[in-house]
Structure 1
Amino acid sequence: MTLSDYRKRLLLLPFITELPEPLRARIAMCLLWIGQPAQFAVGDAIFVQGDEDENTGCVLLQGEVEVLRGNQDAVRVQAPELLGEMQQLEPTAQRTATVQAIADAQTLLFSWHDFVVYSAVLLTTEEQIVLRDVIRNSAARRRT
């Protein structure tokens, strides 16, 4: 995947498409700067429910995953999508679900801490609030 391919896929992320136009490219660039490419084969777990990991986020760029939470029905998620954001909203810093590849998956793994730091540099306070609200709304939609 070329840098241009990464950028195009990032700009298709639902939470990015919900942002005002001026923010979209900056957030995509931020994720490109801090993200590390990682591939997951069918059956590989990206996150495991209950794990204590308050810092890792994931952008699913290609492929499909299942989100498994306790006894609830699995939810299928296709690329492109932001993963790992719900744990950011939990006071325990534990993973709220297992995310497992059901098709070969290409991802960008990133540090939420770095994302917050770079966002603070790239965005105004008002833009940071908009970004936070869009990510929270995205997480809430998947949770229901």
Structure 2
Amino acid sequence: MWLLILFIVIPLIEIALFIQVGGAIGLLATLVIVIGTAVLGAALVRSQGAQAMANLRQSMNELTDPTEHLAHGAMILFSGALLLTPGFFTDAVGFALLVPAIRLAVYKALRARMDVQSFEMGQNPRPRGPQDQVIDGEFEEVDPEKRPTHGPSGWTKH
């Protein structure tokens, strides 16, 4: 239900902002701003995404919990999608998600609402079930009988 509301409300906000900003500064300036934010956003997402990947690699190499780095990477990816979407509201949310302090606050808020049951890393994780269980069985290959779906045409001879 919330997703449906977002899909209705966000475009209405964007349309209202386009009308207001376009009326205040003109069409050409509005288009330059929209294209400029997309280009600037793509560059920022690329640099911050590379940093997030480096942090994730370091976390994996040190065998520490990678969830925060994964969440930051996901938020950077989401901000990139918002920044490439034309609009002032989506650009504002996208640029906000590029601020590390805001990402950290969002991560902490989401983490507080989730309960992690278990987390394991390492070379030999704990086995999840019986390892020596063997199931014997017999099989026989069965080729289905091929039946033509139609009769021969006048072009072929049998």
The alignment's TM-score, normalised by the length of structure 2, stands at: 0.25
Greater relative contact order (Cα < 8 A, sep 6+): 1
Q: Which has the higher strand share?
A: 1
Q: Which has the higher helix share?
A: 2
